[in-house]
């Protein structure tokens, strides 16, 4: 059974840092693109970042470029999101999600339950 379990969410002051983790199980982690998606309270979904299976390529939404870093440890079946210079508008539930790629199509299939990041003084 595919499982994605996020952790690391917390209350942090503006300008602070936080590292989110996503523990993967039930599949060959190193074969898949992975992603972070966030959802501000009462709002819709926003894509944050993607990473290729070997970690060699990373993609970010403009609003987090230079502040957030996506990474992975395939030996530990783990995905990470290092967040720095946090702002109020980064307050959200952060989901990790798996991305299978078949042919020219890459899409989400499984999602974690999310971890809450609150940025507030």
Partner 1 sequence: DIQMTQSPSSLSASVGDRVSITCRASQGINIYLAWFQQRPGKAPKSLIYDASTLQSGVPSRFSGSGSGTDFTLTISSLQPEDSATYFCQQFVSYPYTFGQGTKLEIK
Q: How many residues bind partner 1 (CB under 8 A)?
A: 20
Stretch that binds partner 1, among 10-18, 19-27, 44-52, 79-87 (CB under 8 A): 44-52
Shortest Cβ 84–partner 1 spacing (Å):
20
- Integer Cα distance of 51 and 64 in angstroms: 15
Shortest Cβ 121–partner 1 spacing (Å):
26
Judged by DSSP in three states, 64 sits in helix
Contact positions with partner 1 (CB under 8 A) in 13-42: 37
Angle at 98 between CA 45 and CA 94, to 5 degrees: 40
- Integer Cα distance of 94 and 13 in angstroms: 17
| 46: contact with partner 1 by CB under 8 A | yes
| 62: contact with partner 1 by CB under 8 A | yes
- Integer Cα distance of 118 and 101 in angstroms: 32
| 116: contact with partner 1 by CB under 8 A | no
The β-bridge relationship of strands 11-12 and 45-51 is unpaired
Contact positions with partner 1 (CB under 8 A) in 83-102: 95
The β-bridge relationship of strands 11-12 and 115-119 is parallel
Binding site residues, partner 1, CB under 8 A? 37, 44-47, 50, 59, 61-62, 95, 105-114
């Amino acid at each position: 059974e595919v499982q994605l379990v996020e952790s690391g969410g917390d209350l942090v002051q503006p300008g602070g840092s936080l590292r989110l983790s996503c523990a993967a199980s039930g599949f060959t982690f190193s074969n898949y693109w992975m992603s972070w998606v966030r959802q501000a309270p009462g709002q819709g979904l926003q894509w944050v970042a993607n990473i290729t299976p070997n970690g060699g390529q990373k993609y970010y939404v403009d609003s987090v470029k230079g502040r957030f870093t996506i990474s992975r440890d395939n030996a530990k079946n783990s995905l990470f999101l290092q967040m720095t210079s946090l702002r109020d508008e980064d307050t959200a539930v952060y989901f990790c999600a798996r991305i299978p790629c078949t042919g020219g199509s890459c899409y989400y299939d499984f999602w974690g339950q999310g971890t809450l990041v609150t940025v507030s003084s």
